[in-house]
Structure 1
Amino acid sequence: MQFKNLQLNKPILRAISEKGYQLATPVQEQTIPLVLDKKDVIASAQTGTGKTAAFALPILQLLFDKQDAGKKAKKIRALIVSPTRELAIQIEDNFKTYGKYTNLRTTVIYGGISIEPQKDTLKKGVDILIATPGRLLDLHKQDIVNLDYVEILVLDEADLMLDMGFINDVKKIERLCPKEKQVLLFSATMPSRIIELSNSILKNPETIDVTPKSSAAESVHQKLYYVPKTKKMELCLHLLRNTIKGDILIFRRTKFGVDKLEKMLRKNGYKVNSIHGDKTQSAREDALNKFKNKQVNILIATDVASRGIDIQNLDAVINFDMPNVPEIYVHRIGRTGRAGLTGSSHSFCAADERTYIQTIEKLIGTTIPVEKEHPYPLDPKAKPEVYIKKGSNHKKGRKSAASKKNKKRWY
């Protein structure tokens, strides 16, 4: 369907056409009319499906009629809550792009940077606020943010907010907004706690599901390597030297794992950078820009830090650690092979990750080809490694002589 058939006004259509977009994606085609009808919506859609425009365009349209309040008189009438800073910045870019021929003011607030400039911008008055939960509640506590006039609340990447422990903050933010409001919830996956959340805050929502069940298989050449956990570093190095070339995104499960791999690749002369939750905002942006500008060709990331990051023309994805949620696998490898190009994905599976492969293959409806020709094969009979926590050698309740000597007695 063309955008001009979706009841959007000329200023918005003009901005869309300048971006070169004519046809709406499935999530846009289904969501935009429902949002314009002021319905609550719960949408299962991944990054890369065009979901930001699916809520940004109708919100700009709905707020368009009241856009000319004096700047000081502007109230926050649309609130978009996003789990990560990168995603929040990207959403703001979208709103500014699509709303360039309107008088609607958009701003973004997030932690990790100075709060004062954000306060100044908010005091000038904004119509649309994009925020991460922590900074939003912080500014609300300081009476800088007033949510009494919010007409539309968007919860983006709700499953990621759950993973990051923001779910109680999200509930609190929802309660700070007026009771009568439109709520739009977007999530790549639908775990039971997200369904519970949607049942508690959405009123008779319309459900949209545009999660491609096997989108993973079409433009991405997938390979699976069974490898002992202790040999993953060596296998990664072997593949980078001999097989995998170009711009590469490597996923690891933990921040510690990201740092360890980055150090090893640097030592071996690779141009590499990383992003994870413990890095400052400027360090994360710097890493991302260097990767986009081809100053480095390998970027290592955790799932949380990478969600929503828009990286074009990736040549390959390496799953250094297998994800235990099958949708995350689809999401990861969907970063390559976009826009009609082909890409490759290389997944390292240790003995204790075998069960994840079954659930992934069930979701994508295909068997991932196993690459047996590599120097570090896993013994098919290998048992998962079990780590036993060693206790103290001291007897329970035993006190040292020094401890007894220093004991202050009350008698």
Structure 2
Amino acid sequence: MHTVNQGGLLNASLIQDIAIEPILAGEDISIQAKTGSGKTAAFAIPIIEQLLRREDGDGDNCPTANAPLYVVLSPTRELAGQTNQVFKNFGDQLKLSTVCMVGGESIEKQKELVAKGVHIIVATPGRLKDLINQKVVKLDSCCGVVFDEADRLFDMGFKPDIEYILNHVPVERQLVMLSATTNMDVLRTAYRYKSHPMELKVGEDGLMVEHIDHQIAMISQKEKMSFLVHLLRQQENVYGLVFCNTQYMTHTVAEWLKKMNFKAQAISGRLPQGKRNSLMRDFRSREITILVSTDVAARGLDIEDIGLVINYDLPNEAANYVHRIGRTGRAGKSGLAVSFCAHEDCEYLDAIYDFIGAKIPKMDISDDDFATDLCRRPHIDQRTLKVSESTSQEHRPTRTRTKQRPPNHNKSDEDKPQRQRRAQGPKIEQHRQDVATKKLPGEQMTAKESDKPDRRFFEITSSNQQEADQLAMSALRITDPGLLGHTVLEEGRKKYLLFGPKEVSYQYFIRPIYKRLLTPFITQMLELAQLELTVRVSFSNPTLKVNFVGKDAELLRQNGGEMLRAFEYLIKTYVGRRVRPHRGIRYVVRSYTEELERDSRPRGEKSDSYLLKLIEKSSQQVLEQGAPVQLKPLNPKDRRFVHQQLSDGNSRFKTTSIGDGRFKRIEISMKE
């Protein structure tokens, strides 16, 4: 108890109070509790106690080389480091050894540490799998495995690694799973490995931390930075987190805040591990007081006394809203969480409201709540994520032309003069170098991999273009000639000085015709998965829409749309590996149990006018039929308009949104 008190725990939290005893008894257990409720100590304390009991009893508690007694799996390096530190705080005085094994750090040093003997390994699944495969770590004597942030482990695609690890531990081992949200895939995996865990849910009536004052600010995209600056200035001794959805926006916001004299820095998965560790040390010591982050920090950082969390972008996954704002209001302390909602963010609101079971209170905003001294937005290089002042659009001189020529949209690359196409050669080579270093979703590219040729391009020199076309289609693995595009890199001389065919160098690529590219690929996946679905692909720059329609559409939406997200990931990866996508492309993947009815709004009629007629017609049907009427699927903006029109206190009707995804139906019925 003295060791526990020295570790900073004087009173047990609710989750610790109910979880420690069954874990200590060796039972398999699945715990769902709010972020910041003390889950780490809830499993660390009983594991340490079990190790001490082995020492007091007949069991051998001496650490064995390369053979840990307990394994804790964490989704991120940061969380693994923090969990390992908790074990060290409790276990060092008790002579219990722990090792943290994560990617991005010296594997040789980790091998040396585990060879000295270890009781507990805290690791990311990928690194532990590598060491098991190299026979450096042996799990024959492992007594228990902990999935820390189990929902996140499976969301991040670690399931194959986890199954590999479970295949190397004894069948009679303890399994402890801790999550902030429900993920049925976690429990299914436990059942598969003959575990039937006790399920504990703390605060099931609501996932929100009571001490957090969370609000939403309805502002435009252009107003976000000026509102953020004003908000930060209003906080006394501000110490907080700002969340963005992309690495590019994360670094842009951080650099912009630095130009406004805030002690801000960006942290994202693009940074080397050493740099990330250094940033976290500076943030904990408050040399940095504002950390701008992607969602990697929402589930990987445990920092005390954060008083403010800002969602600069609303999270596109509802569960991440809880994880983000859970960084404040910890250990009973108060915290403020403010979410910025522009028009582009509105599509995520309904899912968040459904997930937390409540509306987010709106902030009262006036013109005085925006900073008026905002400096210019810094220009960030999208490849390096560093400030590039020399190429900043704000500092570019304005170019003048004597005559403005309209762009010619009818000419293809093949129609251009040969001289002009040859002049484009160096640009194409530069682009190949750029895309070769670009990461695909879920990949981390090494320096050696960046030197590999880009497989989206195929170069050949030939005097017979038809033959070159056939070879290119074979190399690029396509059968549709309409997808094949090419650029002439160089035209050689005629074979016999003045006559004969020319030797021409071509660069072939797959045209980004997404419907023709994706339809056969997705159809094949659906056939292999034996799903009764058809797919509809459409592209309107910058949005690529993929709609699944059929009997099994409901399967894709189960468990928070888990399968739908998996299909989205496969589609993104496939497109990224096959073509050069349009800049700023946005993917929208949805599923419907029936064919979408087309919007019958007359061409040219304004949306509000059409919706008012639709409301009047549907309301009349409700009165005549005496039964509810469902409208066609509507987007969030149109749904909001319908709800507002029928929410008047004098209205005899009530409205309810029905369905999943962005496009939902509205049911109009009589008030009781």
TM-score class, shorter-chain normalisation, is 0.7 to 0.9
Aligned to 1:94: 86
Q: Specify whether residues 127 and 367 from structure 1 end up closer, same or farther in structure 2 by C-alpha distance, changes over 3 A only.
A: same
For residue 272 of structure 1, report the CA deviation from its aligned partner. Answer: 0.6
Post-superposition Cα deviations, 1:286-333, rounded to whole Å, max 9, x if no partner, equal: 112212212121111112233242222222110011123333222322
Q: Counterparts in 2 of 1:31-70, with a 5 A limit?
A: 31-67=19-55, 69-70=61-62
Aligned to 1:274: 266
Deviates more, 1:98-107 or 1:308-317: 98-107
Amino acid at match of 2:173: K
Aligned to 2:363: 371
Q: Specify whether residues 70 and 31 from structure 1 end up closer, same or farther in structure 2 by C-alpha distance, changes over 3 A only.
A: closer
Aligned to 2:250: 258
CA distance in 1, matches of 2:84, 2:249: 31
Aligned to 1:232: 224
- 1:235–1:375 CA contact under 8 A, matched in 2: no
- 1:15–1:100 CA contact under 8 A, matched in 2: no
Deviates more, 1:360-369 or 1:98-107: 360-369
Amino acid at match of 1:179: V
Aligned to 2:350: 358
Matched, 1:14 2:6: no
CA distance in 2, matches of 1:402, 1:85: 45
Deviates more, 1:48-57 or 1:324-333: 324-333
* Larger Rg belongs to: 2
Q: Specify whether residues 266 and 14 from structure 1 end up closer, same or farther in structure 2 by C-alpha distance, changes over 3 A only.
A: same
**Which of the numbers 278, 296, 303 marks the counterpart of 1:286?**
278
Aligned to 1:406: 504
Aligned to 2:16: 28
**Which of the numbers 118, 132, 152 marks the counterpart of 2:144?**
152
CA distance in 1, matches of 2:265, 2:142: 39
For residue 149 of structure 1, report the CA deviation from its aligned partner. Answer: 1.2
Aligned to 1:181: 173
CA distance in 1, matches of 2:64, 2:210: 51
Q: Specify whether residues 155 and 338 from structure 1 end up closer, same or farther in structure 2 by C-alpha distance, changes over 3 A only.
A: closer
Post-superposition Cα deviations, 1:223-248, rounded to whole Å, max 9, x if no partner, equal: 21122334433332343345686112
Aligned to 2:426: none
- 1:46–1:211 CA contact under 8 A, matched in 2: yes
CA distance in 2, matches of 1:123, 1:394: 61
**Which of the numbers 288, 302, 306 marks the counterpart of 2:294?**
302
**Which of the numbers 79, 82, 91 marks the counterpart of 2:71?**
79
CA distance in 2, matches of 1:398, 1:94: 57
The DSSP-based 3-state class of the residue aligned with 2:167 is helix
- Structure ranking higher in strand proportion: 2
Amino acid at match of 1:345: A
Amino acid at match of 2:146: V
**Gap runs ≥5 in structure 2:** 370-408, 415-481, 491-501, 507-672
**Which of the numbers 194, 204, 209 marks the counterpart of 2:201?**
209
Aligned to 1:317: 309
Q: Specify whether residues 270 and 370 from structure 1 end up closer, same or farther in structure 2 by C-alpha distance, changes over 3 A only.
A: same
Q: Specify whether residues 231 and 192 from structure 1 end up closer, same or farther in structure 2 by C-alpha distance, changes over 3 A only.
A: farther
Deviates more, 1:31-40 or 1:305-314: 305-314
Q: Specify whether residues 402 and 285 from structure 1 end up closer, same or farther in structure 2 by C-alpha distance, changes over 3 A only.
A: closer
Give the alignment's TM-score, normalised by structure 2.
Answer: 0.53
Q: Which has the higher contact order (CA 8 A, sep 6+)?
A: 1
Post-superposition Cα deviations, 1:251-292, rounded to whole Å, max 9, x if no partner, equal: 111222211211222222221112222222221121122122
CA distance in 2, matches of 1:197, 1:360: 27
- 1:311–1:335 CA contact under 8 A, matched in 2: yes
Deviates more, 1:222-231 or 1:67-76: 67-76
For residue 123 of structure 1, report the CA deviation from its aligned partner. Answer: 0.7
For residue 124 of structure 1, report the CA deviation from its aligned partner. Answer: 0.8
For residue 74 of structure 1, report the CA deviation from its aligned partner. Answer: 7.6
Aligned to 2:495: none
For residue 354 of structure 1, report the CA deviation from its aligned partner. Answer: 2.0
Matched, 1:123 2:109: no
The DSSP-based 3-state class of the residue aligned with 1:406 is strand
CA distance in 1, matches of 2:194, 2:317: 26
Q: Specify whether residues 72 and 236 from structure 1 end up closer, same or farther in structure 2 by C-alpha distance, changes over 3 A only.
A: same
**Which of the numbers 336, 352, 355 marks the counterpart of 2:328?**
336
Post-superposition Cα deviations, 1:183-234, rounded to whole Å, max 9, x if no partner, equal: 1111111134334323323522100111464463632332211223344333
Aligned residues: 383
The DSSP-based 3-state class of the residue aligned with 1:304 is coil
CA distance in 1, matches of 2:365, 2:329: 24
Amino acid at match of 2:30: I
- 1:188–1:211 CA contact under 8 A, matched in 2: no
Post-superposition Cα deviations, 1:369-399, rounded to whole Å, max 9, x if no partner, equal: 222424599xxxxxxxxxxxx9x95584455
Amino acid at match of 2:239: D
The DSSP-based 3-state class of the residue aligned with 1:305 is coil
The DSSP-based 3-state class of the residue aligned with 2:138 is coil
For residue 80 of structure 1, report the CA deviation from its aligned partner. Answer: 0.6
The DSSP-based 3-state class of the residue aligned with 2:92 is coil
CA distance in 1, matches of 2:236, 2:346: 23
- 1:183–1:202 CA contact under 8 A, matched in 2: no
CA distance in 1, matches of 2:214, 2:6: 36
RMSD: 2.8
Post-superposition Cα deviations, 1:99-138, rounded to whole Å, max 9, x if no partner, equal: 2343332111111111111111111111111111121122
Post-superposition Cα deviations, 1:5-33, rounded to whole Å, max 9, x if no partner, equal: xxxxxxxx221133353432221122111
The DSSP-based 3-state class of the residue aligned with 1:94 is helix
Amino acid at match of 2:109: P
The DSSP-based 3-state class of the residue aligned with 1:135 is helix
Identity of aligned residues (%): 35
Q: Specify whether residues 199 and 36 from structure 1 end up closer, same or farther in structure 2 by C-alpha distance, changes over 3 A only.
A: same
- 1:235–1:376 CA contact under 8 A, matched in 2: no
- 2:40–2:83 CA contact under 8 A, matched in 1: yes
Give the alignment's TM-score, normalised by structure 1.
Answer: 0.84
Q: Specify whether residues 217 and 41 from structure 1 end up closer, same or farther in structure 2 by C-alpha distance, changes over 3 A only.
A: closer
- 2:66–2:138 CA contact under 8 A, matched in 1: no
**Which of the numbers 308, 311, 318 marks the counterpart of 1:326?**
318
Query: Which portions of structure 1, spanning 4 or more consecutive aligned residues, are displaced by more than 6 angstroms?
Result: none
For residue 46 of structure 1, report the CA deviation from its aligned partner. Answer: 3.6
Q: Specify whether residues 239 and 143 from structure 1 end up closer, same or farther in structure 2 by C-alpha distance, changes over 3 A only.
A: same
Aligned to 2:662: none
Q: Specify whether residues 295 and 195 from structure 1 end up closer, same or farther in structure 2 by C-alpha distance, changes over 3 A only.
A: same
The DSSP-based 3-state class of the residue aligned with 2:15 is helix
